[in-house]
């Protein structure tokens, strides 16, 4: 599986110097029309999103129900874009060579984290404080002297800190793993690129000490990014969704939320790869091997989607406990059944019945199409969780008695502002990614060069074989 | 003659904790004698038990009693988990146990939130002198199987049989008393009422209707589990608390 | 750095067939001892069969105790084989080669131990237990209740047992052919010849064997996940037991199973180095690799443990809080809890962080023994205290002391698995010969500057 760009690196990029020259030249070449057209399109969507947001803002923050779709799209970006870097991190830690051409493309998505941090800010006003005595991560209880000291804005504080931590880690990872490339740009480019690169990588000489530092730090930062991502998913999924629904106690949900993000992150990267290959002109670097490997990963993660969902579902459903029935009613089989069915079909059934077929996995179009299906499914999945969760009024009215939902609120359909915000947030994320792709080479130059060192073709009896080295 | 929904109403206010119901149940249903060692081992079998809770701090301590038997749930948690269908809800609203089919996985007991399913750890034994007091209408359960309150189904069967021979309805005045399980018969304070909730004329239906109103005392045990029990409890009237509340 | 020792095919045969073609000195004595322990347990079971379940320490409300704990423990151990074999085979990890066979065989024997540990013995009327697995009494239309997790359970375990036996068998075929060619007795020759189904080592046969291995790996993975999920649902679907009713149970049990299972495989690896002196094949870097895997697995497990615990107190409900108080602060559970948390995580994981420990057979053996002690207690601490604090009816809260009968029967399952592995090692090699040979062939090196990086040949 892991034979780099293998047979599909049509161009004979046999030596590190050639790779170096080719990639840096591509990076500094004047940008083409496709790029500007894409920028214009996604920029326009972004503007639309801002308009939608302003429309929504006129409703104020007092009624959190109208902000459901906004929360859903925030969670969607968290689930997709912010998880994409992991697809570079995991195989790097496992020393999979196929990751090399796509690791930069994956890490660049961490730039979008900054955008998502901005999206997060209004939610701080939308989320009620802990005074409504809901169950939370923070055990606030006004009556209990032990727990009345808990700050009533704990969810807001900690989620913000965690999200900032995640974004900072993402940027650090991107920067550290790009140091050699920045140095190469510094030494070869001119103009603003050269100035920026010189500022970001002033001291990189490529000494073995520096390389050791690089390997070590990318490993640690990668692991840390993973831990932060899990942590952020934990806080967001519990404080910003689960705690809002009384009686919904699902210990697996934070982990499901994070596992879904691995699947959606892989799908995001697959689409990115496809665009880079098809429109970015990197056909020689991104080949079938990457699609095949990621396709297999995505297939496995789609099965995992079902397993996590079912593990929660069977336990909540089997017991017929009213509080749990109400939660299922709210988010699965009740008013949001169409959204749930869409998520179920697109996230699980479609990948299962198509990707099980190897010719489809081992193609360019197959994994790309399924990735699209998964991304749409994930959006529906986030909608069917966040919109109903935000539509539950606080404790102390006819919907909620103690910690149980006694009546399921009606479904909320997106209005114009919601649709604007959804397309705007997605458009904005892509817009920012496109911008970022101009600052750094989209293909990791040093990893690409390094791979050439590990691959040797040798004669073996009567045939020639590929020998692949793996560092310990 | 199906379609009943047998149930019970327990007026906790009247219970004095005398345990007469426990003893009556014991002898009616061929339950082996619970000796001290059985209680110490926590293996005593009591289809109905009187739980005692202490309330308040010394010197103002009160004992609270609550009789608990199988709640004959409408959505019984014990039923779906039995691998061999040894327990199911019959069409008379009873949660019945089929001794022959039971293999003793004890899954039902674990899933019963009311702790009212009992396992026969040993072969049942009675002293020689008691061999002739066993009720011929009730199976003696062998070791290794589960058992629990049946609402004295043998009495229901017998009453129905007699009634149909006499050409009358089992819920007629004349027969109503003979339907009652042993515990109801034995209770000196009329804490327990037995009857058919599907029959709007029955005493329990009337009580249920009255007590389910806003200021009524009716509640079911562990309501949040949604088991839909067939036993309705009536809250204790706490005179002292009321006095305190009203000054 | 001579990490691997290159052996010729002949040397590999000699080395790995030492246990099959000859009998080590310790073998008979050890097997006899284990048989004794096993028979004692069997005797205890006979006594229980004769007297009733009353001879255990079970009571109301603790209706499941040592047997169920042991059942889940062995199901957990059985997850090692597939974890190591299937996942590592699919991801082409080279270090799996000497480990796969022992892991798969451990799977098969621990599954049989699991079947012995609970379903057959813990029920009230074992003589009728078979009736719950097979539909019976067709005439009256009485069928098993498929809504019950106890029907899903045998279905899943039996499927897993079948699949993993097949898995072992497919990987054994080339090795059995090797033994057939070297066996001296007439009977042995015939039996091995029969078992290896005419293996001649033609390219077509190799291709079929490889494809079968990969297919079985891919197909057995969903089974592997389903088995422990279903076992966890025996507990999680109970609304009557607050401590069990948690959605996280399925993944939590699986990751716990992998934790204890991979540790058990490490124990077996260490024993193979010590008992059969296969240190030329099981190198320190194999222990290193499995040690690194264990760090990740253990930490993930620990995360699930924290989350499970956290969401129990998240509810702030009385039985849950009482349960956690019992588990953590009340004697004797507090001692068990401390032992559990230290042996399952806080002792081994910091040790595994050191490369020296990971590459040392003794350290790896004792740390993984510690993990399995901890993981046995973990299951115990999940099941028993939860039953002891079942619902808010505190009048019925109880406690549990296992009886000597239960302990003997638990010991018997351990003896059974160890004995099974030893008997297996007498008739088949515990390390796949063909896989080691293949590993020796595809192993290569890549020179980068002055450094030499281990490499392998890929198609």
> Per residue in C220-232, pLDDT tens?
888 989 999 999 9
Percentage of chain B exceeding pLDDT 90:
57
> Residue A9 has what pLDDT?
43
Q: Is residue B1 part of a domain?
A: no
pTM of the predicted model, to two decimals? Answer: 0.93
C435 touches chain B (CB under 8 A): no
> Per-residue pLDDT for C22 more than 70?
yes
pLDDT-based confidence at residue B242 (cuts at 50, 70, 90):
low
Which ranges in A58-151 belong to alpha helices (H)? 68-79, 86-93, 103-108, 112-126
pLDDT-based confidence at residue C74 (cuts at 50, 70, 90):
very high
Interface touch B226/A321, C-beta < 8 Å: yes
> Per-residue pLDDT for C2 more than 60?
no
Helix (H) or strand (E) holding A289: helix A288-318
| Mean local confidence (pLDDT), C76-90 | 85
Percentage of chain A exceeding pLDDT 70:
95
Q: How far apart are CA B229 and CA A327, in angstroms?
A: 22
Which ranges in chain B belong to alpha helices (H)? 20-28, 36-40, 78-81, 107-111, 153-166, 173-179, 182-186, 203-211, 239-246
Residue found under tokens 């290569």: C444
Q: How far apart are CA C116 and CA C413, in angstroms?
A: 7
> Residue B170 has what pLDDT?
67
A 10 A CB-CB count for B133 gives 9
Contact list, C393 vs chain B (CB under 8 Å): 51, 68, 113-115
Lowest mean pLDDT of A196-205, B10-19, B30-39, C81-90, name the range. C81-90
Sign for the CA dihedral angle at C154, C155, C159, C160 comes to negative
> Residue A11 has what pLDDT?
44
B49 beta partners:
B68
Q: Is residue B80 part of a domain?
A: yes
Lowest mean pLDDT of A413-417, C17-21, C395-399, name the range. C17-21
Residue ranges of C 225-254 with Cβ closer than 8 A to chain A = 225, 229, 233, 236-239, 245-251
Interface touch C145/B115, C-beta < 8 Å: no
> Residue C120 has what pLDDT?
76
SS3 content of chain B, % helix, strand, coil (to 5): 30, 15, 50
> Per-residue pLDDT for A232 more than 90?
yes
Q: How far apart are CA B42 and CA B3, in angstroms?
A: 37
> Per-residue pLDDT for C361 more than 60?
yes
Interface touch B224/A319, C-beta < 8 Å: no
Q: Which residue has the higher pLDDT, A410 or C143?
A: A410
> Residue B1 has what pLDDT?
45
Give all strands of the β-sheet with A455-460 in edge-to-edge order: A455-460, A463-469, C451-458, C443-448
Q: Name the domain count of chain B.
A: 1
Torsion of CA C358, C362, C368, C374, to 10 degrees: -130
pLDDT-based confidence at residue A12 (cuts at 50, 70, 90):
very low
> Residue A458 has what pLDDT?
83
Interface touch A323/B75, C-beta < 8 Å: no
> Residue A144 has what pLDDT?
77
Average pLDDT value for chain A: 88
Which chains are within 8 Å of C by 3+ CB pairs? A, B
pLDDT in tens, C241-300: 988 999 999 999 999 999 999 999 999 999 999 998 888 888 898 999 999 999 999 999
Interface touch A249/C314, C-beta < 8 Å: yes
- Give the residue from chain B lying closest to A325, CA to CA: B226
| Mean local confidence (pLDDT), B123-135 | 89
Give SS3 for A472. coil
| Mean local confidence (pLDDT), A422-432 | 95
Q: Which of C252, C256, C260, C235 is nearest to C384 (CA)?
A: C235
Lowest mean pLDDT of A111-120, B160-169, C185-194, C433-442, name the range. B160-169
Q: How far apart are CA C269 and CA C224, in angstroms?
A: 22
Q: Is residue B90 part of a domain?
A: yes
Q: How far apart are CA C358 and CA A75, in angstroms?
A: 40
CATH code linked to domain C9-130+146-456:
1.20.1630.10
On whether the CB atoms of residues B67 and B50 are closer than 8 A, the answer is yes
A320 touches chain B (CB under 8 A): yes
Q: Which residue has the higher pLDDT, C142 or B4?
A: B4
On whether the CB atoms of residues C153 and C119 are closer than 8 A, the answer is yes
Average pLDDT value for chain C: 89
> Per-residue pLDDT for C420 more than 70?
yes
> Per-residue pLDDT for A392 more than 80?
yes
B8 beta partners:
B194, B231
C205 beta partners:
none
Contact list, A139 vs chain C (CB under 8 Å): 313-314, 316
Q: Which residue has the higher pLDDT, A285 or A229?
A: A229
Domain containing residue B149: CATH number: 3.30.70.20
Find the angle CA(A169)-CA(A174)-CA(A175) to the nearest 5 degrees.
Answer: 95
Cis peptide bond N-terminal to B241, omega within 30: no
Lowest mean pLDDT of A30-34, A53-57, C65-69, C306-310, name the range. A30-34
> Per-residue pLDDT for A173 more than 50?
yes
> Residue A10 has what pLDDT?
39
> Residue B244 has what pLDDT?
65
pLDDT-based confidence at residue C391 (cuts at 50, 70, 90):
confident
Contact list, B105 vs chain C (CB under 8 Å): 122-124, 132, 150
> Residue A4 has what pLDDT?
41
SS3 content of chain A, % helix, strand, coil (to 5): 70, 5, 25
pLDDT in tens, B67-120: 999 999 999 999 999 988 899 999 999 999 999 889 899 999 999 999 999 999
> Per-residue pLDDT for A6 more than 70?
no
pLDDT in tens, A106-163: 999 999 999 999 999 999 999 988 887 788 888 887 777 878 888 889 899 999 999 9
Q: How far apart are CA A195 and CA A11, in angstroms?
A: 31
B110 touches chain A (CB under 8 A): no
On whether the CB atoms of residues C27 and C422 are closer than 8 A, the answer is yes
């Amino acid at each position: 599986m892991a034979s780099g760009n293998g047979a599909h690196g049509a161009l004979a990029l046999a030596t590190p110097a050639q790779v170096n020259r080719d990639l840096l030249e591509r990076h500094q070449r004047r940008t083409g029309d496709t790029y500007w057209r894409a920028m214009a399109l996604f920029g326009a969507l972004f503007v639309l999103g801002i308009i939608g947001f302003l429309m929504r803002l006129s409703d104020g923050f007092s009624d959190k129900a109208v902000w459901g779709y906004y929360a859903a799209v925030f969670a969607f970006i968290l689930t997709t874009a912010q998880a994409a870097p992991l697809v570079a991190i995991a195989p790097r830690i496992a020393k999979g060579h196929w990751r090399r051409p796509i690791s930069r493309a994956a890490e660049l998505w961490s730039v979008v984290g900054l955008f998502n941090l901005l999206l997060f800010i209004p939610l701080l006003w939308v989320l009620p404080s802990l005074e409504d005595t809901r169950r939370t991560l923070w055990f606030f209880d006004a009556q209990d002297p032990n727990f009345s000291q808990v700050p009533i804005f704990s969810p807001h504080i900690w989620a913000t800190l965690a999200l900032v931590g995640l974004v900072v880690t993402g940027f650090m990872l991107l920067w550290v793993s790009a140091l050699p490339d920045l140095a190469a740009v510094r030494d070869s480019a001119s103009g603003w690129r050269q100035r920026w690169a010189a500022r970001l990588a002033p001291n990189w000489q490529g000494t073995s000490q520096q390389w050791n530092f690089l390997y070590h730090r990318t490993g640690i930062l990668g692991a840390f990014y993973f831990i932060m991502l899990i942590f952020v998913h934990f806080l967001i999924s519990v404080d910003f969704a689960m705690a809002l629904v009384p009686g919904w106690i699902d210990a697996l949900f934070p982990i499901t939320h994070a596992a879904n993000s691995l699947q959606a992150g892989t799908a995001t990267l697959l689409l990115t790869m496809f665009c880079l290959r098809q429109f970015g002109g990197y056909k020689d670097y991104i080949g079938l091997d990457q699609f095949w490997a990621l396709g297999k990963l995505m297939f496995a993660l789609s099965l995992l989607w079902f397993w996590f969902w079912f593990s929660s579902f069977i336990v909540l459903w089997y017991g017929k406990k009213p509080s749990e029935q109400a939660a299922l009613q709210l988010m699965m089989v009740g008013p949001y059944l169409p959204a749930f069915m869409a998520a179920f079909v697109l996230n699980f059934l479609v990948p299962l019945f198509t990707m099980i077929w190897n010719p489809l996995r081992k193609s360019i179009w197959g994994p790309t199409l399924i990735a699209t299906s998964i991304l749409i499914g994930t959006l529906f999945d986030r909608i069917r969780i966040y919109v109903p969760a935000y539509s539950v009024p606080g404790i102390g009215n006819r919907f909620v008695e103690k910690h149980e939902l006694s009546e399921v609120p009606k479904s909320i359909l997106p209005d114009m502002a919601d649709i604007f915000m959804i397309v705007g947030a997605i458009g904005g994320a892509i817009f920012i990614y496109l911008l970022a792709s101009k600052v750094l080479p989209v293909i990791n130059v040093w990893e690409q060069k390094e791979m050439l060192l590990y691959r040797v073709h040798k004669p073996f009896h009567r045939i020639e074989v590929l020998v692949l080295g793996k560092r310990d | 003659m199906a379609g009943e929904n047998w149930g019970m109403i327990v007026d906790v206010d009247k219970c004095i904790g005398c345990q007469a119901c426990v003893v009556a149940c014991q002898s009616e249903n061929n339950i082996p004698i619970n000796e001290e060692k059985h209680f110490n081992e926590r293996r005593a079998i009591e289809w109905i038990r009187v739980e005692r809770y202490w309330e308040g701090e010394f010197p103002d301590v009160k004992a609270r009693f609550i009789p608990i038997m199988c709640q004959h749930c409408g959505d019984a948690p014990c039923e779906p988990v039995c691998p061999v269908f040894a327990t199911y809800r019959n069409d008379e609203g009873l949660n019945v146990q089929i001794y022959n089919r039971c293999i003793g996985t004890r899954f039902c007991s674990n899933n019963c939130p009311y702790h009212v399913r009992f396992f026969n750890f040993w072969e049942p034994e009675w002293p020689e002198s008691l061999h002739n007091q066993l009720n011929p209408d009730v199976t003696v359960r062998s070791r290794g199987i589960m058992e629990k309150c049946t609402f004295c189904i043998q009495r229901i069967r017998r009453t129905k049989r007699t009634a149909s021979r006499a050409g009358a309805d089992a819920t007629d005045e004349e027969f109503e008393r003979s339907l009652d399980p042993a515990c109801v018969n034995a209770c000196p304070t009329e804490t327990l009422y037995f009857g058919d909730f599907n029959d709007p004329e029955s005493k329990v239906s009337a009580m249920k209707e009255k007590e389910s109103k806003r200021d009524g005392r009716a509640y079911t045990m562990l309501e949040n589990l949604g088991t839909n029990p067939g036993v309705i409890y009536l809250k204790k009237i706490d005179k002292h608390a009321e006095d305190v509340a009203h000054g | 750095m001579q990490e691997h020792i290159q052996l010729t095919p002949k040397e590999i045969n000699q080395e790995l067939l030492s246990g099959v073609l000859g009998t080590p000195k310790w073998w008979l004595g050890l097997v006899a001892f284990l048989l004794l322990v096993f028979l004692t347990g069997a005797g205890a079971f006979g006594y229980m069969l004769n007297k009733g379940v009353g001879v255990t320490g079970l009571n109301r409300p603790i209706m499941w105790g040592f047997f169920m704990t042991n059942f889940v423990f062995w199901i957990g151990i059985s997850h090692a084989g597939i974890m190591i074999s299937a996942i590592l085979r699919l991801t082409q990890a080279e270090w799996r080669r000497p480990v796969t066979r022992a892991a798969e065989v451990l799977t098969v024997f621990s599954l049989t131990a699991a079947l012995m540990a609970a379903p057959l013995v813990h029920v009230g009327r074992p003589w009728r237990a078979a009736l719950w697995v097979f539909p019976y009494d067709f005439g009256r239309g009485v069928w098993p209740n498929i809504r019950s997790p106890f029907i899903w359970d045998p279905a899943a375990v039996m499927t897993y047992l079948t699949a993993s036996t097949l898995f072992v068998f497919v990987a054994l075929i080339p090795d059995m052919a090797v033994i057939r060619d070297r066996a001296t007795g007439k009977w042995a020759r015939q039996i091995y010849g029969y078992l290896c189904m005419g293996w001649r080592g033609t390219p077509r046969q190799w291709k079929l064997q490889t494809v079968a291995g990969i297919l079985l790996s891919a197909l057995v993975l969903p089974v592997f996940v389903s088995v422990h999920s279903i076992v966890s649902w025996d507990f999680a679907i109970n609304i009557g037991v607050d401590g069990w009713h948690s959605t996280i149970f399925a993944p939590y049990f699986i990751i716990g199973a992998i934790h204890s299972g991979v540790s058990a495989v490490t124990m077996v690896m260490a024993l193979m180095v010590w008992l059969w002196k296969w240190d030329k094949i099981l190198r320190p870097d194999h222990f290193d690799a499995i040690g690194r895997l264990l760090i990740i697995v253990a930490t993930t497990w620990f995360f699930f443990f924290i989350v499970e615990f956290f969401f129990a107190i998240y509810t702030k409900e009385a039985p849950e809080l009482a349960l956690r108080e019992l588990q953590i602060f009340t004697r004797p559970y507090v001692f068990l809890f401390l032992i559990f948390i230290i042996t399952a995580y806080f002792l081994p994981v910091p040790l595994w962080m050191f490369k020296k420990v990971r590459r040392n057979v003794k350290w790896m053996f004792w740390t993984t023994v510690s993990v399995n002690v901890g993981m046995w207690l973990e299951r115990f601490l999940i099941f028993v205290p939860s039953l002891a604090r079942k619902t808010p009816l505190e009048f019925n809260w109880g406690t549990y002391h296992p009886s000597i009968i239960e302990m003997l029967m638990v010991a018997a399952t351990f003896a059974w698995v160890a004995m099974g592995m030893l008997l297996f090692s007498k008739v088949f090699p515990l390390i796949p010969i063909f896989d080691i040979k293949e590993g020796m062939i595809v192993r290569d090196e890549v020179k980068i500057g002055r450094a030499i990086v281990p490499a392998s040949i890929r198609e």
